[in-house]
Amino acid sequence: MLAISGCATWQAPADPSVENIRARAISESSGDVDVKAAILSAEDTRRIFGADLNAAGVQVIWVEVDNRSSVPLRFMHTGTDANYYSPLEVAWSLHVTFGGATNDRIDDYFDAKAFENPIPARQLRRGFIFTNPEPVVKLFNIDLVGNRTMVPFTLILPVPDTPPGKDATALSKRVAAVRGPDYQTAEALRAALEAAPCCTRVGAEKAIGGPVNVVMVGTLGDLGSALVRRGYRRDLRSDDFVQRVYGRPPDIVIRKYAQGVDSSKWVRFWVAPFRYRGRPVFLCQVGRPVGGRFAANDGPLVLQVDVDEARNHFVGDMLYSGGLAQLGFVDGDGGDDDAPVAVPKPYQTDGLRAVFVMATRPLSMSDTEFLDWVPYVRQREAEASGLAAE
Amino acid sequence: MSQRWNSNGFRIVCPVRHRLLFVLVALLVGCATPQTNQRVQEGGVEARTQSKTYKGLTVSTSVLSAEESAEAYGVPLAEKGIQPVWVRVDNNEAQAFWLLAQGMDAGFFPASEAAEAFAAGRTGEEQAGLAAHFEKLAFRNPVPPGSTVSGHVLTNLDEGVKLVQVDLISSKQSRSFSFMSAVSGFQADYHVREAFSGSLYIESEVVDYDDLGSLRRALEALPCCTTNADGSRQGDPLNLVIIGGLSDAFPALVRRGWRPTEATRIESVMKMIKSALSGERYRYAPVSPLYVYGRPQELALQKARDNIHQRNHLRLWLAPLRYQGKQVWVGQISRDIGSRFTIHSPYLTTHKIDPNVDEARDALIEDMAYSQNLVEVGLVAGVGTASKDMPRQNLTTDPYYTDGFRAALIFDAKPTSLTDIGFLQWESPGGAILLDQDRGAVQ
């Protein structure tokens, strides 16, 4: 990990004002609660904290919560980033050996700047939180929890210092631009999903990449909350970019970051050209690279052939997310907007795609309803009895 | 080595030279005949298999030792930090159930990934054979009504004891089963099984509180801090109370990635140093003993973040009290802020804790809020205030400061969503905030 340099000369910053940050903050309201948030640029962190915290792998977010309700609320750092940094953890990285009084001043400074819980009823709180970095745009999940109540938000925050050519609002624009049909019944949705592209295509020859094996239905906020709570973060790599559905690369790609605790599974999203009961629909390709967490970090990402395994594990993740209202399976070898290509698929699958209908209100894992679409269970049952008869 | 295949889809590689071991492993993968069952009962693995039944589901589990997993898989899984847990689910209910591997270990290994860990030096054909073999040993969802499914879930290697959590989901319902398993081949450093079995105290020593008011007073009266072995010096504050046991509190901790850790021994110290030097994650940085009630912790848990420099630690002691029949554990939690950004020596830095110990306490409250088993949480006095200007020191001379409160977390086996967690009207940080009685007024 990086050392933050220049610590020996640390001085309390002369201009720690947040006016410019507040001015560009993204706002959202829900009932009696307003939130604002913005990510700090490298320059902001130098100006406010006296060191380039971005360079040390910390993404600092300024948050303001105006709680006009009658209930004290708690900002859940874990819901924003399960591996967030405590203020004094970041401060300690600026410490110098035998720095005594200076180190104490650094600690005091970070402590004073940090977002403080709880947010009392009818009060406003603002401060900084210290998260792991995400490029281009951050799905910033805010779970405000009070006594037997909760107010969730998902803000889409542009990341400063992003190289030109990356549009942080591209995903929201893409979702807003969907002009296709808005299906009102589960049966109509199912028919549309069965007719959706079977798989991703790669290169001019339109070779088959991976199966479209997951469908997520819900607002960006609903999806963001569930995925962030399970440790997924945005991460687009060059190997993702060549994968195409509807003739375009993924609109967003997420991975689970914590080193060594996941098999490097990816979820590639494409906004579908239709809606379900007014809500966006996303076609997803879930897979993992050969080698998983045991592979070298810099190798190419080759799809592991047993894609159903990755899909089924993603089902488990979503069941624990608190955001899964309905789960079903549909056939996924149906329509294709590309001409059929008689090439072997580089994967094995039972041909089913898992469909997640996400909810805003957090749910416990006992609340998920299993849709009686393709009887996945009965199919497996028949398979099992077939094996037993061998 | 030869291959054998059983009739219900679970197949194993059978080392002929270890007949007894084959029989033991055969039982674990669910293919033993009644005759072999009889023979297995003579061995040690059978003694480790535990079963529980709730309504129409019966779940049995056993943790494979390093030797057993090497025999079953033909490769040394433990060397890659992988530990198979054998699970059998007998489903006599009307609906199918899914077993969630994430509930047993948030960082579990898909079978195909574990096979790929041994790809180096093997031909493509050998790799495919290995992958097929791993897949055949794996637990396969779902568990249809009226049937039995067994197989392995590949978890991260635990040493000493393992908390095995089996979450099974069906439409609009879930069932959870929890087991405390001894891991063969490792020294169990704590009297944890004694604590869980209830034999740590004689019944007349234990006070069971029925109402929250008397519970609060009892929690306030607990000792402020840990001590050294002879009780002559005070250490870290006892800033945590866990109310619940193997069926509710510990499943919550396991789901959120908390794992038992071994106490300090020279082997684990060496492993930690190696891990720190290589930058790799070692789940078992040792935890030194601290003392309450004149004895070391019953259980030490840690949650590794990205590497050894990022982890939170907690230690638990079973208190001689209960709340509505639930066990009460008093504990200490701290956050290692380590040396992730520095070139400090790992010896020095891995002991560095966040001096704001309340931060780690509050982080655990948040973490458990996402576990689905936390029903109520509150803060009680009893630690004693230590200000930033006048910090106290723990036994390793780390300074710490605190608002003087300990968090009390009450768990229940019935899943609770984030919207339903109760905040007890006890203390509040800073003392300035009046908790509102008006439930749900926000929405």
Question: Tens digit of pLDDT for each residue in B247-295?
Answer: 899 989 988 888 877 654 444 444 544 554 444 444 445 567 889 999 9
> Do the Cβ atoms of B366 and A78 come within 8 Å?
yes
**Would the CB atoms of A31 and B439 count as touching at under 8 Å?**
no
Assess whether pLDDT exceeds 60 at residue A99: yes
Q: Using the predicted structure, report yes or no on whether residue A334 has a pLDDT greater than 80.
A: no
Query: Under a CB-based contact definition with an 8 Å cutoff, are residues B301 and B258 in contact?
Result: yes
Nearest-angstrom CA–CA distance, B51 and B55: 13
pLDDT at position B193 is: 67
The three-state DSSP-derived secondary structure of A294-331 is HCCCCCCCCECCEHHHHHHHHHHHHHCCCCEEEEEEEE
Q: List B57's β-bridge partners, or say none.
A: B54, B91
- Restricting to A residues 257-316, those with a Cβ less than 8 Å away from any Cβ of B are 258-263, 288, 290-295, 304, 306, 309-310, 312-313, 315-316
Shortest CA distance from A372: residue in chain B: B171
Q: Cβ-count burial of A148 within 10 angstroms (0-12 exposed, 13-18 middle, 19+ buried)? A: middle
Position B109 confidence tier, pLDDT thresholds 50, 70, 90: very high
pLDDT for B30: 32
- Confidence label for A328 from pLDDT (cuts 50, 70 and 90): very high
Angstroms from B80 CA to nearest CA on chain A: 9
Q: What is the pLDDT of residue A92?
A: 85
* Confidence class for position B337, pLDDT limits 50, 70, 90: confident
B218 interfacial to chain A (CB closer than 8 Å): no
Rounded to 10°, the helix B66-73/B19-28 angle is: 90
Q: How much is the pLDDT for B55?
A: 92
Contact with chain A for residue B54, Cβ under 8 A? no
Question: Distances from the Cα of A35 to the Cαs of A66, A68, A72, A363, B438, in angstroms?
Answer: 6, 11, 15, 23, 22
Phi, psi of B307, deg, nearest 5: -155, -175
**Best of A108, A370, A374, A383 to disrupt the B interface by mutation (most B CBs within 10 Å)?**
A370
What is the DSSP secondary structure assignment for residue B80, as one 8-state letter?
A: G
Q: Residue B309 and residue A73: Cβ atoms within 8 Å?
A: no
Rounded mean pLDDT of A76-88? 89
**How many Å is the Cα radius of gyration of chain A?**
23
Confidence of residue A20 (pLDDT cuts 50, 70, 90): very high
- Would the pLDDT of B219 be above 80? yes
- Please indicate whether, in this complex, the C-beta atoms of B417 and A322 are within 8 angstroms of each other: yes
Mean pLDDT of B22-47: 35
- Residues of chain A with pLDDT > 70, as a percent, come to 89
Single-letter residue type at B266: I
Domain ranges of chain A: 7-158, 170-389
Stronger pLDDT, B184 or A175, i.e. the higher one: A175
Instruction: Kindly state the average pLDDT of the residues A32-60.
Output: 95
**Cα(B403)–Cα(B428) distance, integer angstroms:** 10
Residue A340: C-alpha distances to residues A207, A330, A343, B381 (Å) = 10, 20, 9, 69
Counts for chain A of helices (H) and strands (E), in that order: 11, 19
For an interface test with A, the pick among B156, B405, B418 (most A C-beta atoms closer than 10 Å) comes out as B418
ipTM of the complex: 0.83
Selected residue of B277, B339, B341 to mutate for chain A interface (largest A Cβ count, 10 A) = B341
The CATH architecture to which B49-182 belongs is Sandwich (2.60)
Q: Across residues B3-25, what is the average pLDDT? A: 32
> Cβ of B433 and A120 within 8 Å?
yes
- Cβ B96–A310 below 8 Å, yes or no? no
- What would the pLDDT profile of A155-196 be if each residue is shown by its tens digit? 989 999 988 777 777 888 999 999 999 999 999 999 999 999
Separation between Cα atoms, residue B205 and residue B288, nearest integer Å: 28
A-B C-beta contacts closer than 8 Å:
243
Q: What pLDDT sits at residue B287?
A: 66
Does the beta carbon of A118 lie under 8 angstroms from any beta carbon of chain B?
yes
Mark yes or no for CB contact B110/A376 under 8 Å: no
Q: Which of A257, A253, A242 is nearest to A282 (CA)?
A: A253
Q: Does the CB of B298 have a partner CB in chain A at under 8 Å?
A: no
| DSSP run (H or E) holding A150 | strand A149-158
> Whole-angstrom Cα distance, residue B10 to residue B319?
44
Q: Taking CA atoms, what residue in A is nearest to B337?
A: A89
Give the whole-angstrom CA distance, residue B298 versus residue B326.
Answer: 17
Q: What is the mean pLDDT of chain B?
A: 77
> Which pLDDT score is estimated for A340?
52
Instruction: Pick from B5-9, B225-229, B347-351 the range whose average pLDDT is largest.
Output: B225-229
Min Cα distance A51 → chain B (Å) is: 13
Percent of chain B with pLDDT over 90: 46
What's the angle, vertex CA A282, arms to CA A278 and CA A284, rounded to 5?
Answer: 165
Residue A139 pLDDT exceeds 80: yes
At residue B422, does pLDDT exceed 90? yes
Identify which of A52, A48, A40, A43 has the alpha carbon closest to the alpha carbon of residue A6. A52
A377 touches chain B (CB under 8 A): yes
The predicted model gives A298-311 an average pLDDT of 87
Checking if the pLDDT of B34 tops 50, the result is no
| CA nearest to A284, candidates A174, A194, A210 | A210
Cα A351 from chain centroid? 26
Distance from CA of B408 to the nearest CA of A (A): 15
Residue A49, pLDDT above cutoff 70: yes
Answer whether residue A382 shows pLDDT above 80: no
Q: Which of A170-179, B23-32, B310-319, B408-417 has the lowest mean pLDDT?
A: B23-32
State residue A383's pLDDT score: 56
The verdict on a CB contact (< 8 Å) between B171 and A74 is: no
pLDDT band at B115 (very low <50, low <70, confident <90, very high): very high
Structure tokens at A225: 């909350």
Out of A73-77, A122-126, A256-260, B342-346, least confident range? B342-346
pLDDT of residue A380: 52
Among partner residues B173, B340, B439, which is closest to A93 by beta-carbon distance?
B340
Task: Give chain A positions within 8 Å (CB) of B356.
Answer: 86-88, 111
Class of domain A7-158: mainly beta
Look at residue B348 in the predicted model and tell me its pLDDT: 34
Q: Are B312 and B300 in contact (CB under 8 A)?
A: no
Contact list in B for residue A92 (CB cut-off 8 A) is: 337, 352, 354
If one compares A58 and A4, the residue with the highest pLDDT of the two is A58
Structure tokens at A353: 């795609």
* pLDDT score of A86 more than 60: yes
Domain ranges of chain B: 49-182, 192-431
* Dihedral sign (CA B326, B332, B335, B339): negative
Specify the higher pLDDT residue, B304 or A313: A313
User: Across the interface, do B107 and A322 touch by the CB < 8 Å criterion?
Assistant: no
Kindly calculate the radius of gyration of chain B based on its CA atoms and give it in whole angstroms: 23
